[in-house]
Each structure stands twice: as C-alpha cells, then as structure tokens.
Amino acid sequence: MTIRILNKNYDINLKELNLSYSFEKIIFAEIVHLINLKRLLLSNNCIKKISAKIANLRNLEELDLSNNQLQNLTAEIGNLINLQKLYLAGNQLQNFPAEIYNLINLQVINLSGNKLQNLPVEIGNLHNLQELDLSSNKLQNLPVEIGNLHNLQKLDLSSNKLQNLPAENYNLINLKYLYLNENQLQNLAAKIFNFINLQILDLSSNKFQSLPAEIGNLGYLKELYLYYNQLQILPVEILKIKNTLNIDETSYDINNLNIDNQILIFGKLGNKLNNLPFNIKEIWLNDYIKNYDIKLPFECVIKKHNTNYGLHSYLKY
C-alpha cells in the first residue's frame, strides 16, 4: 500500500521521509498515515502551523522542523513518546507547550534562533537529554530545574541576555561543552567549576573582570575562550589543568607562573608573555591570519598551526 505525498507515492511502511526544501505546501493529513516513520525531516519549508494529527506518528524518533515560520507548536507533539531528537531552530517561537517535556526519551533539542524569553520548569523532566541548544534567543534567566538534567553533555546558551546562572545549574556533572558567550554575565559562582568533565568553556563577549581560582578544578578542560571581556589577569590556578589548554587571548599576564608539563595555546603572542617557566613543553600559536615561527626562551617547543592544512610538525629551537 502506498501514500501519495506531493505528487509522489511512498510505501506505507516507510521509515524515513525527507521533504526538506520542498518549496511546496506540506500536507500533514497525508504524512500522518505513515505510522511507521522514524525520521521526518521538514526543514526549510515555510511551515507556519503543525497539525495536531502529528500525534499519530508515535514511532517517530527524529523530527526536524528547523528553519520554518512556526510561532507556536501544537500540544499534541507531546504524544510522540519515542522521540529522541527534536530540531526547531530558526523559527519564531516565543513559547511552546509544556507537553514537550513529557517526551522523556528526548536526547537532543535544538531551539536556537527563536524568540524564547523563558523556559517552562518542566524542562527538568528530560532526564535523558544530552544536548540542549538554546542559543540566539532572548533568555534572561533559566529555571532552576535545568539542573536536573544530569545526563546533559552539551549546553549552548550563547547569544542570549543572561545576567546570571541559577546555582542549581551546577549539578550538571556530565557536561562536556558549555557555551555562555555573548551574554551579559559578570560573575560565575565557584560551583560552576564542579563540572569536572568539562572540555570546552566559552565565556567570550561577556562582562567578566575576573575568574575564580576554582577554574583549576577543570582537569579535562581543553579549550577556554575569554575574548571580549574585561579580564586583565588570569588566576594562577588555571595552570593546574593537566590537559592541553587553548587560551584564546593575548593580553593576560602569566609571568612567573609554575606549570607542570603544560601546553599553552594562544591566539597571538602578546608582549606580556615574559619569563615563561622552563617546564613548558609546547606553545601552540593558533592564529587565523598568519602563521608564526617564533623563538621563545628556555628552548620551548613551538607548534605551528596552519588553518588550511591542519597541525604541522613541531619546531624546536
């Protein structure tokens, strides 16, 4: 048996339907007969409304409605109990029904590029959530219940209007990637550095004047972005981090700091890079415009980074 959708026949047992960029009117009354669908991709179609009949697709595991013109969602979307991935980026959502948070099997939600000003407290029900993208919205605060997302590995809150984070956020012990850039943050509580598994922390384009010493607790941190803040000095504890650490800026005074087997990474070399300790093994100059071949004191090993061809061999002096 077949179902005809947009002048094309589809087997009723179809598992995946991709109608992205169809540039035709999507008729949900036809799609909802494909009750065995697991993936439904409808991005970039100027869709303004989702039919309540979408609730018929109970086997759906992935739903992509990104880059449409949705201003709200039907509450019946909460009946998609097997949904694992939900993409709603690039719409005009200001709020959406709390029923979404009955979807306890969700692992990925992308709501970037909408007009969200707040989140329902029910977000804390999504205990299996691993990736949450809320970037480029209008969020001024977060519900404390977001701290219940203990399996969360990636949280993107960039390009919002956040001025602080609730203390309960600091229970996200499995978090690996945290993007807080382009907000209005001035301070971070020391507890945020309990994220011992954090690998990437982006604090750029905020209003930070200092960082707490507890940043040294981030033993797995690999990349730290701090540009466009008001920082003048980094805490010495930052050099407790045992992994390769990418520090993006150039104007921090790190003179005479003790360090063991560290690799420092800078966007450029600034004139405050003086009196580097002998124990530094490598300095990675990661510049997007030029490549640097610079001799540093104490016979340091320098890595040369080429943005076109990747990482080159060590240059020893």
Answer whether residue 157 is part of any domain. no
Answer whether residue 53 is part of any domain. yes
Write out the DSSP string of the chain.
-EEEETTEEEETT-SEEE-TT--S---HHHHTT-TT-SEEE--SS------GGGGG-TT--EEE--SS--S---GGGGG-TT--EEE--SS--S---GGGGG-TT--EEE--SS------GGGGG-TT--EEE--SS------GGGGG-TT--EEE--SS------GGGGG-TT--EEE--SS------GGGGG-TT--EEE--SS--S---GGGGG-TT--EEE--SS------GGGGG--S-EEE--S----TT---SS-EEEESS--TT--S--TT--EEEE--SS-------GGG-EEEEEETTTEEEEEEE-
Answer whether residue 204 is part of any domain. no
**CATH number of the CATH domain containing 105:** 3.80.10.10
Answer whether residue 45 is part of any domain. yes
Answer whether residue 57 is part of any domain. yes
Confidence of residue 47 (pLDDT cuts 50, 70, 90): very high
pLDDT value, residue 261: 34
Q: Is the pLDDT of residue 157 over 70?
A: yes
Q: What digits encode the pLDDT tens for the residues 117-132?
A: 998 888 989 999 999 9
pLDDT value, residue 301: 32
Q: What digits encode the pLDDT tens for the residues 167-189?
A: 666 678 899 999 999 999 998 88
Q: What digits encode the pLDDT tens for the residues 188-213?
A: 887 778 888 999 999 989 998 888 88
pLDDT value, residue 245: 58
Answer whether residue 300 is part of any domain. no
Answer whether residue 59 is part of any domain. yes
pLDDT value, residue 287: 46
pLDDT value, residue 310: 33
Average pLDDT, the chain: 78
Q: What digits encode the pLDDT tens for the residues 243-269?
A: 555 565 444 444 333 444 344 545 444
Structure-model confidence comparison of residues 297 and 1, the more confident one? 1
Structural domain that includes position 88: 1-115
Structure-model confidence comparison of residues 232 and 26, the more confident one? 26
pLDDT value, residue 290: 44
Tally of structural domains, the chain: 1
Answer whether residue 104 is part of any domain. yes
